[in-house]
């Protein structure tokens, strides 16, 4: 994984299938204790949106590697008062070893990475959530022993999580079925890219039909119907998305061994029912834990601490 040292992770397709596989192997070994790693380095967190899992899992991962974390909350740093990203990036580059940024525009993350030489990690934008997907793949691999040939059905809003999941599945030879209302399907460029990148005959299906998407799937995945920044639209979206609720009836169409994933936070009674998220097929707590293991692996390889 030497080739990942010093690189950025701006979108999931910045990683090749072999690099994703390598990261998952390292994450699994870090989780089991087979592998240990020390990174006496400093991670900055620049988050313009709320976060529980990403913020805490990155922080704990860095502490467990022996490093330090600085919370660069935009409300108390100059970037929140309009200091240009290019200037903030060039200055933080001189202090930090690595930075995770959560913001709205993907372009801002790209700009930050252009102006900072240190590795820059996309910790969620409106377009992508690559760190989430590394943890999701780790969870699927743990549950089924392998990724290739499995079918993941994502039901709901074609948002940042859906975009990254679509690309990651296609790269890893996982069939991916996305069911979303017509006007809420994943970004077209992601669908096109997923079809181009599809490995090992991964099947890409984008549909409005939730039942068709879920049929025979080993993984049923959902996320909120209104993402951060879209809260004002939440009430108008509820009736549109109702047919896409992950409930026991919809789940009954999936493979009988299917697991249920949700990146969290969840809105019970909207995109997922209480019965399903608390039910025996739910793996959401393992999935949330895996954020820490996957990101620890990511920090270790980007910082070059495993050489
Ligand atoms: N899944 C996820 O990214 O959660 P947070 O918004 O709490 O970080
Ligand atoms: N799609 C959600 C994911 C939260 C982790 C959002 O962007 O708000």
Query: pLDDT-based confidence at 106, cuts 50/70/90?
Result: very high
> Which-ligand-closest: CA of 159?
2
pLDDT at 307 over 80: no
Phi, psi dihedrals of residue 290, rounded to the nearest 5°:
-65, -15
Q: How many residues does the chain have?
A: 307
Q: Look-up: residue for tokens 């692996």?
A: 297
**Residue 117: per-residue pLDDT:** 98
Mean pLDDT, range 163-178, rounded to an integer: 98
Q: Which of these is catalytic: 28, 177, 262, 291?
A: 291
Distance CA 302, CA 279 (A): 37
Residue 131 falls in the annotated catalytic set = no
Which residues form the pocket of ligand 1, taking CB atoms under 6 Å from any ligand atom? 51-55, 124, 132, 263-264
- Residue 179's φ and ψ, nearest 5 degrees, are -115, 120
pLDDT at 97: 98
**Mean pLDDT calculated for residue range 12-40:** 98
Among 160, 184, 284, which residue has the most ligand 2 atoms within 8 Å of its CB, making it the best to mutate? 160
pLDDT number for residue 1: 86
Whether the predicted pLDDT of 228 surpasses 90: yes
114 SS3 class: helix
**Average pLDDT of every residue of the chain:** 97
Residue 7 designated active-site: no
Mean pLDDT over residues 29-49, rounded?
A: 97
Q: Can you read off the two tokens belonging to residue 117? A: 């030489």
Q: Averaged over 99-106, what is the pLDDT?
A: 98
* Residue 206, helix vs strand vs coil: strand
For 60-82, the pLDDT digits (tens) are 999 999 999 999 999 999 999 99
């Amino acid at each position: 994984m030497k080739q990942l040292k010093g690189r950025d992770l701006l979108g999931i397709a910045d990683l090749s299938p072999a690099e994703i596989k390598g990261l998952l192997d390292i994450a699994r070994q870090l989780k089991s204790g087979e592998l240990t790693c020390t990174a006496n380095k400093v991670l900055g967190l620049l988050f313009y949106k709320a976060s529980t899992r990403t913020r805490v899992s990155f922080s704990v991962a860095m502490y467990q590697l022996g490093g330090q974390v600085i919370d660069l909350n935009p409300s108390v740093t100059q970037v929140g008062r309009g200091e240009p990203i290019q200037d903030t990036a060039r200055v933080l580059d001189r202090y930090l070893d690595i930075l995770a940024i959560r913001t709205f525009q993907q372009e801002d993350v790209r700009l930050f990475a252009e102006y900072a030489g240190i590795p820059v990690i996309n910790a969620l934008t409106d377009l992508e959530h690559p760190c989430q997907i590394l943890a999701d793949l780790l969870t699927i691999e743990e549950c089924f022993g392998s990724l290739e040939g499995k079918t993941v059905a994502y039901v709901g809003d074609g948002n940042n999580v859906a975009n990254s999941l679509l690309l990651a599945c296609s790269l890893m030879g996982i069939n991916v079925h996305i069911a979303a209302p017509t006007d809420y399907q994943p970004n077209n460029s992601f669908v096109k890219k997923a079809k181009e990148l599809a490995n090992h005959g991964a099947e890409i299906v984008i549909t409005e039909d939730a039942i068709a998407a879920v049929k025979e799937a080993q993984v049923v995945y959902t996320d909120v119907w209104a993402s951060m920044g879209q809260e004002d639209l939440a009430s108008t979206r509820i009736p549109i998305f109702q047919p896409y609720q992950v409930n026991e009836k919809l789940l009954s169409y999936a493979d009988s061994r299917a697991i249920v994933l949700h990146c969290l936070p969840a809105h019970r009674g909207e995109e997922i029912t209480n019965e399903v998220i608390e039910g025996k097929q739910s793996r959401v707590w393992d999935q949330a834990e895996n954020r820490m293991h996957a990101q620890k692996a990511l920090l270790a390889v980007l910082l070059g601490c495993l050489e």
